[in-house]
Amino acid sequence: HGRFLEFFDRFLAADADARVWELPVTTEAERETTLVEWNDAEQDVPETTLAALLDAQIPLTPDNIALDFEGETLTYAEFGARVNRLARFLIADGVGPESLVALGMRRSLELVIGMHAVLKAGGAYVPIDPDHPADRTAYILESADPVCVLTLSHDDLELPETVRRVEIDTLDVSEFSDAPVTDADRLAPLRPANTAYVIYTSGSTGRPKGVAVTHHAIVNQQ
């Protein structure tokens, strides 16, 4: 009712040649709410990384369930230990800040472990869908040029012969420490401005294009 009365006032005050459909329908208060209040998303973003956030959470809730998938669970402590061992393997394999590692796995505990291990090592991950066409996968891998592709032995991911496959469900990382990974362990310090992941577009308007997203940009979503 209030909106109608305000619109009617505008209608009466409008020039005779004004188009009625060009007159604002919403009230001033509604416009303020929609355009200003609802878009007031400013917040302080900490200068940190996804790897540091996980390290901060683990000692707070070590026995809480971190992952639960198809009846298998991992506590934060167990999850952190597996991530750190795999991260140290990746560091020994040459993964560091601004280097890329592809993740060619379907949904699983190992997919999340692999993702965070790449981040802990300082690298950035590139998601690869095993169900996508082989030519798309080949193009992405040629474009990204990852250090390796983390996958699972049963995912049957078709890869070019030039790309190195690492099956993390059969990989023995027991020789590596499960202690938190620090900059002293990495090939170079990890900074918020470093790339966290590279995601490729659908390619519906041409070739798929890689979009690099930094740690700082993702921390902003926490």
- The pLDDT tens digits of the residues spanning 74-99 come to 999 999 999 999 999 999 999 999 99
What is the structure's pLDDT at 222?
A: 62
Torsion sign across C-alpha atoms 8, 9, 12, 15: negative
Of the ranges 38-42, 110-114, 116-120, which one carries the lowest mean pLDDT score?
38-42
Q: How far apart are CA 46 and CA 57, in angstroms?
A: 15
Place of tokens 């012969």: 161
Written out in words, the top-level CATH class of the domain with range 50-219 is alpha beta
At 177, is the secondary structure helix, strand, or coil? coil
42-67 residue pLDDT tens: 777 789 999 999 999 999 999 999 99
Q: Where are the domains of the chain?
A: 2-37, 50-219
Cα distances from 222 to residues 49, 73, 191, in angstroms, run 11, 23, 17
Q: Summarize pLDDT for 115-144 with one digit per residue, the tens.
A: 999 999 999 999 999 988 888 999 999 999
Pair 199, 213: CB distance under 8 Å: yes
Q: pTM of the entire structure? A: 0.80
Cα 194 to Cα 21: distance, rounded to the nearest angstrom: 50
CA dist., res. 42 & res. 137, Å (int) = 38
